[in-house]
Amino acid sequence: MKTADPELMRAINRFHVMDAIRRFGPIARVEICDRTDLSATTVSAITGALLDDGLVITHQLGGIRDAARGRPRVLLDLNPDAAHVVGARIAPDRITIATTNFRADVRASLTLPVRVGRHSVPVAVDLIEDGIRRCVADAGLELSQISGVCVGIPGVVERGAGICRASPLFGERDIPLAAELTQRLDGVVATIDSDVNLVTLAEHWFGQARGLDDFLVVSVELGLGLGILHKGELFRGANGLGPDLGDLLARPPNGNGLVRLASIASEESLLSDARAALAGTEHEHAFRLGRGMEKVLERAKAGDPAIVALLRAAGEALGFAIANLIVLFAPPKVILAGPALAAGDALVAPLRETVAALLPPSLADVADLVVHEWTEDIWARGAAAMTLRDLYGAPWGTTGPAPHR
């Protein structure tokens, strides 16, 4: 009979202790035992090593005594200065970068307003590198003090290989972005991931889904992103690829044939169709200035029938896709976000109506649909969280397998 790998078991247990301290700290050792089902001996050994490594610090509460020992309780917390990481997000009209500490608290951040898609990949990488170097300096740090960098990008990403398979931002495919950034950043290890995966992890650590081990994130932006947290782990397909919601098939508003969902409901398709609908009017100029979505939202609030029809079609198509996702995963929460969601009922009401109409009665009240307006730094904090999760040494997924006693 094959025995378990003791090194792997220790790594699993170490991760769960670290994760308990991150999620519930400051926390006493006895509470760590309760939350991880690990023995007091195991927890004591692991926390002792973490203290020696400088990853954890203690808080002694003089007024609170341990009933069993009659002495002040010692609480454990992550050491914010144990490591610093950089998270970045590449969007169509900006690059957002944040330097964070070991708790993923932002120490410095900046936003570079740039139309990324208008530049070649090497120029875009130059901008990312320059932004990272400046953000690190703004945090009062040297690049040599950075433990890792993670960049979120829309599209299909093979995280393990550090390759961007395809992105609506670039015409090129199979871009070795992680290796290129690592070389430019003097050997600081850079990784890349789908931007929606980073938001999913940020929602799990800090946001609407804190404490949930199963939920979905749907982002309606340049493309359509889908983040899946299932049983505490980010879902990834073969070779670590994440699903692209925009690639799902859908029926167009005219009902003829099948098209990709992104061609109806993504920000890119909405802007293209809205620009065509408003061609020859005073509103057309906004699209040339890169303010197309602002104009779409303005015309939707004004009740423009053409724009309202576009948003309704997008909402119904998204609702169809989300209803199928709920049937597959039965998540307690589906988090929706993206600039187009600011259209409010013009988009969200048909989405909700479609979901309600298509779900079977057994799943009608399973999932809570939440529209969440994300701040810019949640993407970067998610990227930082992904890097910090790697530093914790999680053997698999987001939270790893169960502890081993």
What pLDDT does 288 receive?
Answer: 85
* Residues in the chain where the model's pLDDT stays below 70: 1-4, 61-72, 376-377, 391-405
* Whole-angstrom distance, CA of residue 291 vs CA of residue 405: 57
Among the listed residues 208, 241, 210, the one whose alpha carbon sits nearest the alpha carbon of residue 371:
208
Question: Look-up: residue for tokens 């929602």?
Answer: 203
* Whole-angstrom distance, CA of residue 378 vs CA of residue 221: 15
What pLDDT does 397 receive?
Answer: 40
Check: CB of residue 14 under 8 Å from CB of residue 46. Answer: yes
Which tokens hold the place of 43? 């927890």
What pLDDT does 307 receive?
Answer: 96
Distance of CA 42 to the CA centre of its chain: 32
* Whole-angstrom distance, CA of residue 172 vs CA of residue 162: 15
* Whole-angstrom distance, CA of residue 342 vs CA of residue 346: 9
With a CB cutoff of 8 Å and minimum separation 6, the contacts of 186 are 143, 144
DSSP structure string for 299-331: HHHTT-HHHHHHHHHHHHHHHHHHHHHHHHH--
What pLDDT does 214 receive?
Answer: 93
What pLDDT does 223 receive?
Answer: 86
Which tokens hold the place of 62? 């003089």
Q: Is 353 helix (H, G, I), strand (E, B) or coil?
A: helix
Rg (CA), the chain: 23
Q: Is 71 helix (H, G, I), strand (E, B) or coil?
A: coil
Domains and CATH numbers, the chain: 6-78 (1.10.10.10), 83-201+379-391 (3.30.420.40), 210-371 (3.30.420.40)
Handedness of CA 7, 13, 16, 22 (dihedral sign): negative
Check: CB of residue 212 under 8 Å from CB of residue 368. Answer: no
Among the listed residues 244, 132, 193, the one whose alpha carbon sits nearest the alpha carbon of residue 383:
193
Q: How many CB atoms lie within 10 A of CB 84?
A: 21
Q: Strand 84-91 relative to strand 94-100: parallel, antiparallel, unpaired?
A: antiparallel
CB under 8 A, 24+ apart: contacts of 344-348: 344/300, 344/301, 346/300, 346/307, 346/308, 346/311, 346/312, 346/315, 347/300, 347/311, 347/312, 347/314, 347/315, 347/318, 348/315
Q: Is 149 helix (H, G, I), strand (E, B) or coil?
A: strand
* Whole-angstrom distance, CA of residue 320 vs CA of residue 303: 24
pTM score, whole prediction:
0.84
- What Cα–Cα distance (Å) separates residue 333 from each residue in 67, 84, 200, 211? 40, 31, 12, 12
